[in-house]
Amino acid sequence: MSEKLQKVLARSGLGSRREMEQVISAGRVSVDGSTAKLGDRVEDDAVLRLDGNIVQTRSDSDTICRVIAYHKPEGEVCSRKDPEGRPTVFERLPKLSIGRWIAVGRLDLNTSGLLLFTTDGELASRLMHPSYELEREYAVRIFGAVDDAMIKRLKQGVMLEDGLASFDTIHAAGGEGANKWFHVTLHEGKHREVRRLWESQDVTVSRLIRVRYGNTVLSKKLPHGAWLELPLEDVNVLRDSVQLQHETRTMLDMTKDNKVNTHRLRRTAQKSRARQLQRHKATSAKPKTKQQPKRRQGRG
């Protein structure tokens, strides 16, 4: 049976369905030698190419759905490469022999907390799609006066430049002086939505941490810059939440105790950060070679 082209590409680990739709629209994909267009369906034996390179397609039975939870620190960007040379979240992830890690959403440069990655493009697409209404929870530190009237406005809805936005819930979480912590939830992932909602009320967001995505909670034992692969049970909780069939296989060794080893994860994160800094230091230290003007040869 034929399948949508973007679904086949996503399952091959090239990105989420949304990313693959953009790639197809840009004319970068061909099917059996002809440039593909959005909406195309393909058969199992079709030859797919992305930027001229053959895509190794995989069936559902060939793909093991893996999910890792990453504790993103501030200062890392959520892209594979950064033109400004800043560190990226992908640099610390474990290497894959087939496919690649797909980020479930993004976090801003100055936002830390839970970031999910998966090898399953279909899962990534559904987890991000607003129709499934997966709840995100953030811990926010606010500088400024927050009263009941402001909280009511933020829950009823505030008109931002890209439309009406609101928090589902807002709960006070302590703090001292002018700095107060709140936990907020919302079920959409618009660009910088949490910050923009608070800043529309003339207060400042001084810290922002994502602590939950759907049913997956950021473990307090997971250090900044460390990742942890989710066990099969937790992977299937995520798949249930977006109406996907259960995964039956895992890359984890189920004979071992897979509890969070904080000390080991912290050491791994520190080594990863050291390698990351070393790479960027080496890149920035490379002298830029200037092209020397050609010497004019004299006559005679």
Listed residue (222, 164, 213) closest to 193, CA to CA: 164
- Quick one: the chain helix, strand, coil %, rounded to 5? 30, 25, 45
Residue 257's region, left for phi above 0, alpha for psi from -120 to 50, else beta, is beta
H-type alpha helices, 129-213 = 148-156, 193-199
Which residue shows structure tokens 């009406």? Answer: 164
d(CA 295, CA 282): 33
Contact 17, 102 (CB under 8 A): no
SS3 60: helix
d(CA 226, CA 69): 9
Is the pLDDT score of 300 beyond 70?
no
Structural domains in the chain, sorted by start: 3-58 (3.10.290.10), 67-241 (3.30.2350.10)
Listed residue (290, 283, 299) closest to 86, CA to CA: 283
pLDDT at 63: 76
pLDDT at 299: 35
Task: Point out the residues that are catalytic.
Answer: 108
Tell me how far the alpha carbon of residue 21 is from its chain's centroid: 17
Strand partners, 228: 69
pLDDT at 275: 66
Listed residue (240, 251, 184, 247) closest to 215, CA to CA: 240
pLDDT at 64: 86
H-type alpha helices, 101-248 = 121-128, 148-156, 193-199, 232-241
d(CA 257, CA 260): 9
Q: What is the pLDDT of residues 220-256, one digit of tens each?
A: 999 999 999 999 999 999 999 999 999 998 988 766 6
Q: 72: burial class by Cβ within 10 Å (0-12, 13-18, 19+)?
A: buried
Q: What is the pLDDT of residues 155-189, one digit of tens each?
A: 999 999 989 999 999 999 998 878 999 999 999 87
Which residue shows structure tokens 């399948």? Answer: 3
Q: What is the pLDDT of residues 187-200, one digit of tens each?
A: 987 889 999 999 99
Is the pLDDT score of 23 beyond 70?
yes
The better pLDDT of the pair 261, 100 is held by 100
d(CA 80, CA 282): 18
Residue 137's region, left for phi above 0, alpha for psi from -120 to 50, else beta, is beta
Report the predicted TM-score, pTM, of the whole model to 2 decimal places.
0.78
pLDDT at 293: 45
Q: Comparing 56-60, 84-88, 220-224, 294-298, which segment has the lowest mean pLDDT? A: 294-298
d(CA 188, CA 222): 25
Which residue shows structure tokens 């959403």? Answer: 105
Contact 134, 186 (CB under 8 A): no
In this prediction, residue 60 has a pLDDT band, given cuts at 50, 70 and 90, of low
